[in-house]
Structure 1
Amino acid sequence: MKLNKRKAKVVTSAIDEWQQTNQINSQQAQSLKESIEVVGFDWRLMAVYSFWIAISCLIISVGVLLADDYLMNLLATLFDAPASVLCTTTAILAALCYYGGFKRRQRYPSKTISNEAIYFFGVLMSAVSVGILGETSLFTPISDATLLLIVTIIYFAVALVLPSTLVWIFALISFTGWVMFETTYLSDFGDYFLGLNHPIRLTIVGAAIAVFGLYCPKQPKIRDFTDSTQFIGLLFFLFGFWLLSIFGNHSDFIEWSKIKQIDLVHWAILSITACFAILYLGIHHANSLCRSFGITFLLINLYTRFFEYFWDTAHKTIFFAVLAFSFWLLGSRAEKLWRLGQQDNSKSDT
């Protein structure tokens, strides 16, 4: 079992505790310790970054290609085909990516990162295929909301069949996009839907996804998607609240620019309260995901309020001095907690 140094200490201390409480004998403890292999460099994290950088570079290269008029004219002459043919071709490419990733995972189940990276190209080709579908004469005219609904259904179906956490995440993101586009379409492309602007709608969708994440462990088919569902739900929920603390229920920029940020203080209080609620749930239920989101967005909210209320009124020397002092305190507190954790681990080793 390959572990980094920190995790190896935790596992070793757990084995020592089991031996002291007579849950395992000394021979079993020694055997378990010998099975631990400490790795000095996190190659898994390196692999994740490398694959995402490779994908990002590929997307950039495609973007540069699309921006080059000469190459675009060349491609137009090479691929002078009707939209229906292009739609079918990209759909086949997407299916091949999904199938190739599935077969590769069966052959190399331990290579989860590269397998998921192959699925990403299937996700990309699926979106391209559905986008071209809207250009075919058979489906013209078709709204963007309908296209997003189609690609959402495809992603959910593929995620369940494979199964794939990456595809599931894109399904949740496209579902959120569909809700936002559909409500905009139903409101005749207005800024409000039932009196709610886009940040409020994003907050509601995020809350719905987070609540759905609580239901995931009860269903075997989607049990493995619990963490990813709660991650996306909490992200949209707290990000929507943060936008509300800045813009309130306003969608018109001119109207919003005429009001003072202090007039939106009730939204700021509500946003900070939501962060405290998520943080409390994380502490009470020992949920590290809720704790992390609660603390992160609480700090984001507090520093946002600091910039809103004191940027124009405070002298810049005092402003940045207070900002520096606050970050110093935050860093000192974080260092103290880290040192306490290191001391606990060293005591466990002795």
Structure 2
Amino acid sequence: MDIKVNKRQGQLLSDTITQWQQQQLIDDQQALQLRQSYHIINFDWKLLAVYSFWIAIACFILSVILLVADDYLMALVSRLINTPASVLTVLSAILASLLFYFGVKRRQRYPQKTVSNEAMFFFGVLITAVASGFFSHTTLALHWRDSIFILLPTIIYAIVGLQLRSVLVWLFALLGIGLWVLTETSYLAQDHYLFWGMNIPLRFILVGMLIVGLSAIFKPHSRFYFAKEATLFIGLIYFFTALWMLTIFGNYDSLRAWSHVKQVELWGWSVAMFCITISAIFYGIKTNTSLIRAFGIIFLLLCLYSRYFEYFWNTLHKALFFAILALSFWGIGSRAEKIWQLGNKK
């Protein structure tokens, strides 16, 4: 069996085999066989394929957003095709269904082409959004609010993503949930910044928590376990980004009210974010959950840098600030090293 690995993975395998040899877990012949079972590729073509497809998808997303958001363009397309919006809605829905169908057939025929297969499903996602845009111009839905036309494709993405076991389609469902919550709560707030006493970042704290909780439902032997990591990722993105914004803007109902507030008055949110990120780091280390650990580290640093620019930019020398940070993290690292050594001794 010949395994293709990149340079980083190859170095890791080589170091592991060498360590096994030194510990006499394997002999020289077995080590040679293991080293001959893989070879290092100089260029990661799979990574290039992933990046290329994601760039293509991002460009398509921007294209669809600009098209659907522009009422003039949607009306112009309808006039050019000279077809009622209701007919265009039906045709778009049929086309989206066919794209999902052929995507499944292509995945069954070429199961090894995981990247391009997922990208194929994107075209179904794209046309579903277009169908929703056309539907908003029909006489039936002319007076419906905008959030409904976000909710409809979101429900479709969720059903299709879970049924077809497509991470890409499921990601769009999770992103659609966030966009729907934003538009729906903004509409219900009646042009005010607060909905049930919460501004937009505080609302997304709850959205993030709910999505993170949803990821815990997907158990290892569940049919939907494939969506666990993607769900956790989007939930953490919502949660930590919203928490970071709260440390800057607080839970105020207008930009005018926020502009009269001193940043020192928002220290409670900063303390909360500091405690939560530290807890996330320790939880990620304890449970070996790299995603939670990475989010904890990234947003802890983001929180510290943000507080520095808010409180100490004009008062504390830059070198002194970073020296204090270095000493504090050195202390944390030393303590962690002692705990690790005690664990090894046991």
Class of the TM-score when normalised by the shorter of the 2 chains:
0.7 to 0.9
Q: Which amino acid aligns with 2:198?
A: L
Tell me the equivalent position of 1:190. Answer: 192
1:148-167 to structure 2, matched below 5 A, reads 148-167=150-169
* Aligned positions of 1:124-143 closer than 5 A: 124-143=126-145
Aligned to 1:345: none
- 1:274 is the counterpart of 2:276: yes
Instruction: String of CA shifts for 1:130-172, please: whole Å, max 9, x gaps.
Output: 2222221123322222222211210111111211101111111
Structure 1 unmatched runs, 5+: 334-350
User: Looking at both structures, which has the greater relative contact order when contacts are Cα pairs under 8 Å and sequence separation is at least 6?
Assistant: 1
Equivalent residue for 2:286?
284
**Do 1:238 and 1:274's aligned partners in 2 also have CA atoms closer than 8 Å?**
no
**Which SS does the other structure have where 1:244 is aligned?**
helix
Taking the aligned partners of 1:61 and 1:157, their CA distance within structure 2 comes to: 24
TM, length-normalised to structure 1: 0.82
Q: Is residue 2:212 matched to residue 1:223?
A: no
| Mean Cα deviation higher: 25-34 or 147-156 | 25-34
Count of residues in correspondence between the two structures: 327
**Distance change in 2, residues 1:24/1:116 (3 Å):** same
Are 1:145 and 1:181, in contact at CA under 8 Å, matched by a contact in 2? Answer: yes
Of the three residues 123, 145, 164, the one matched with 1:121 is 123
CA 1:265/1:44 → structure 2, altered by over 3 Å: closer, same or farther? same
SS of equivalent to 2:224:
helix
Q: 3-state DSSP class of the match of 2:48? A: helix
Identity %: 44
With 221-230 and 175-184 compared, the bigger mean Cα shift is at 175-184
Residue 337 (structure 1) aligns with? none
Structure 1 pair 64–141 and aligned structure 2 pair: CA distance change class (3 A): closer
What do you get for the CA RMSD once the two structures are aligned? 3.3
Q: 1:65 to 1:202 in 2, by over 3 A?
A: closer
Distance 1:88 1:280, change over 3 A: same
* Counterpart residue identity of residue 217, structure 1: K
Seen in structure 2, the aligned counterparts of structure 1 residues 220 and 25 have a Cα distance that, compared at 3 Å, is farther
Cα 1:62–1:196, aligned 2, differ >3 Å: closer, same or farther?
Answer: closer
CA distance in 2, matches of 1:246, 1:114: 40
Distance 1:142 1:25, change over 3 A: farther
Matches within 5 A, 1:161-180: 161-180=163-182
Deviation at 1:295, TM superposition (A): 0.5
Q: 1:125, CA displacement in angstroms?
A: 1.4
Describe the superposition over 1:174-223 as per-residue Cα deviations: whole angstroms up to 9, x where unpaired: 11222333333333343222211111110111011112212212561211
Q: Which amino acid aligns with 1:49?
A: Y
Residue 265 of structure 2 is aligned to residue 263 of structure 1:
yes
Q: Which runs of 5+ in 2 are unaligned?
A: 331-346
Q: 2:8 aligns to what?
A: 6
Residue identity opposite 2:244 in structure 1 = W
1:21, distance to aligned residue in structure 2 (A): 6.8
CA contact (8 A) 2:192 2:253 kept: no
Counterpart CA distance in 2 for 1:329 and 1:89 is 61
Write out aligned runs for 1:56-135 (5 A): 56-58=58-60, 75=77, 77-135=79-137
- Match for 1:208 among 199, 207, 210? 210
| Matched position secondary structure for 1:191 | coil
CA distance in 2, matches of 1:63, 1:126: 12
Does 277-286 or 16-25 show the bigger shift? 16-25
Shift in CA distance, 92/25, structure 1 to aligned 2, threshold 3 Å: farther
Q: Aligned residue for 2:41?
A: 39
Paired residues of 2:64 and 2:130 also in contact (CA < 8 A): no
Q: Which residue of 2 aligns with 1:235?
A: 237
Asked whether the equivalents of residues 231 and 289 of structure 1 are also in contact (C-alpha less than 8 Å), the reply is yes
Alignment partner, residue 53 of structure 2? 51
Corresponding residue SS for 1:216: coil
Quote the offset at 1:310 in angstroms.
3.0
* Whole-angstrom CA distance in 1 between matches of 2:74 and 2:187: 32
Aligned position for 1:181: 183
Q: Which residue matches 1:336?
A: none
Contact 2:92 2:128 in 1 (8 A): yes
Letter in 2 for 1:96: L
2:168 and 2:101 map into 1 onto residues whose CA distance is: 15
CA drift at 1:13 = 4.0
Q: 1:24 to 1:168 in 2, by over 3 A?
A: farther
Q: Cα gap change, 1:62/1:217 in structure 2, threshold over 3 Å: closer, same or farther? A: closer
Offset at residue 245 of structure 1 (A): 0.3
* C-alpha distance 248-278 of structure 1, shift in aligned 2 (>3 A): same
- In 2, Cα distance between equivalents of 1:92 and 1:237: 36
